[in-house]
Amino acid sequence: MTTPSRRRLMRDFKKLQASHCFFTCFLALLVCAAYRGEDPPAGVSGAPTEDNIMMWEAVIFGPQDTPFEDGTFKLTLEFSEEYPNKPPTVKFVSKMFHPNVYADGSICLDILQNRWSPTYDVAAILTSIQSLLDEPNPNSPANSLAAQLYQENRREYEKRVQQIVEQEALISSRIYEGFGRILYVLQSWLSFGENEGELEAKESAENDEELGHDEDDPQMPSASGSTRLDNAGSSSSA
């Protein structure tokens, strides 16, 4: 069923793509940069996963002129039906060494907790996390060692961060292995969210065979997390 939270997430997605480069273009640049040994473009980006608009994957580039520069850090964002009234659960998938990042990747950031506002969207969340990388709050540590080094031995702290950056750079250089699948997912969601009315039309089509689309687009994701191929299979087997 189409819900306010799902409609809001589609708007967030369109805004994020309009505010930055399309995620597909960003991935293409990242792959080309990996082959040429160049720095990837700066910024943030994200998109829903293939079959669930409530679960997002995102990427943050380390800010320039900081120990995190040249780093490519992956995150997940898990939304509930209470979004945007409640914040998503955000975690780093990439290994991190930061005063405000827990061992499991969870992030200690005020806007994700007691200072959350429904006006914040995905772009605001990601840019806030990017800023946090170079502006940690060691007085509210999630990683006590990182916080201690940041305050007492900045050189050692930066050395540890740069080790993480180098490890992530090696992982990012192999991102082309899943590039084709990711392109398909993003193109599907971009087409799927062309306008908010289309979201409800596609959902209605799943429940009414007479409103079905042509079979040339069998894998278009639905707001409920299923695909057209699944529904087509169910109809044919009935």
> 221 and 199 in contact (C-beta within 8 Å)?
no
Burial of residue 23 (CB within 10 Å: 0-12, 13-18, 19+) is: buried
3-class secondary-structure state, position 57: strand
96 backbone dihedrals φ, ψ, rounded to 5°:
-135, 150
Q: What is the set of active-site residues?
A: 108
Give the Cβ contact number of residue 211 at 10 Å.
Answer: 11
CA angle (61, 26, 126) in 5-degree steps: 40
User: How far from each other are the two terminal CA atoms of the chain, in whole angstroms?
Assistant: 23
CA angle (99, 97, 178) in 5-degree steps: 135
CA–CA gap between residue 172 and residue 167 (Å, rounded) = 9
Helix %, strand %, coil % of the chain (to 5)? 50, 15, 35
> Strand 72-78 to strand 44-49: parallel, antiparallel, or no bridges (unpaired)?
unpaired
